[in-house]
């Protein structure tokens, strides 16, 4: 078993399962295997090394304690990335309550432009927190981290088209939020549009009269648009 955990012989799922079962080394090996990518996620999301380090520590502690909640419906790396992204957003939301700017070595408060930049970031964090998790994670990976769509798709374990769709819907929702509107409710997108009533084939009215069969409307259908005529 190597120190870096890369050639341990067990895949991510096996390491996580071993951790849940009580293996004291398994989680450490899992983290070592993916720490560079997880650190990049935290750093590119927080844009501050100290904040990123704290967020990553929060995420790893959460993952360590809640590993038994991993359902296996996604890759372990996807689960870890989601934990890190959510930890970053949680920290940014907490900081929004009492916004502060880290002081430099001279202990001089940050200029107004820096304060405005921080407020903008906090606004984005608050808006991101209102998105569905799938959209939020895609937006963070692709837009905040500048991760290629193909790479984000591999991280999330979904098709590239799915990542593009989630980013597109997420950006539209963010635009509505920044306009002071509510994000689109789930199920309100295309796909729930009214479907025109289906009309069953029947004899043309003229043919029916010529046959002398006569026609009437079936019970409950009279006067309702879109319903068909039925023979007596």
Q: Give the model confidence (pLDDT) of 160-208 as tens digits.
A: 999 999 999 999 999 998 888 887 655 544 333 333 344 444 544 444 4
Count the neighbouring beta carbons within 10 Å of the beta carbon of residue 155.
23
Residues 84-96 as b or e (16 or more Cβ within 10 Å = b) = bbbbbbbbbeebb
Task: State residue 65's pLDDT score.
Answer: 96
How far is 118 from 174, CA to CA, in rounded Å? 18
**CA-to-CA distance for 44 and 41, rounded, in angstroms?**
5
- Separation between Cα atoms, residue 89 and residue 196, nearest integer Å: 43
Residues 6 or more apart whose Cβ sits within 8 Å of residue 213: 231, 232
Can you list the domains of the chain with their CATH numbers?
Answer: 1-98 (1.10.1740.10), 130-184 (1.10.10.10)
pTM value surpassing 0.85: no
Closest alpha carbon to 162 in 178, 146, 142, 182: 142
The number of angstroms, rounded, from the C-alpha of 68 to the middle of its chain's C-alpha atoms is: 22
- The answer to whether residues 35 and 8 touch, using CB atoms and an 8 Å cutoff, is no
- pLDDT confidence of residue 229: 39
Indicate left, alpha or beta for 195 from its phi (over 0: left) and psi (-120 to 50: alpha): beta
What's the pLDDT tens digit per position in 132-155?
878 888 998 898 888 889 888 877
């Amino acid at each position: 078993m190597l120190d870096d955990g890369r050639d341990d012989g067990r895949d991510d799922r096996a390491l996580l399962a071993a951790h849940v079962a009580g293996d004291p080394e398994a989680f450490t090996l899992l983290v070592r295997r993916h720490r560079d990518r997880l650190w990049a996620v935290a750093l590119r999301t927080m844009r501050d090394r100290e904040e990123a380090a704290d967020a990553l520590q929060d995420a790893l502690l959460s993952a360590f304690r809640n590993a038994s909640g991993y359902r296996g419906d996604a890759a372990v790396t996807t689960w870890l990335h989601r934990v890190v992204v959510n930890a970053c957003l949680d920290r940014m939301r907490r900081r929004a309550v009492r916004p502060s700017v880290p002081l430099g070595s001279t202990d001089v408060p940050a200029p107004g432009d820096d304060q405005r930049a921080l407020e903008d970031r906090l606004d984005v964090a608050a808006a991101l927190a209102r998105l569905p998790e799938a959209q939020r994670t895609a937006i963070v990976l692709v837009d905040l981290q500048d991760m290629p769509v193909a790479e984000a798709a591999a991280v999330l374990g979904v098709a590239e088209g799915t990542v593009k769709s989630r980013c597109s819907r997420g950006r539209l929702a963010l635009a509505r939020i920044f306009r002071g509107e509510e994000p689109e409710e789930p199920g309100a997108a295309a796909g729930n549009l009214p479907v025109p009533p289906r009309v069953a084939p029947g004899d043309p009215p003229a043919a029916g009269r010529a046959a002398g069969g006569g026609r009437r409307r079936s019970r409950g259908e009279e006067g309702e648009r879109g319903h068909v005529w039925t023979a007596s």
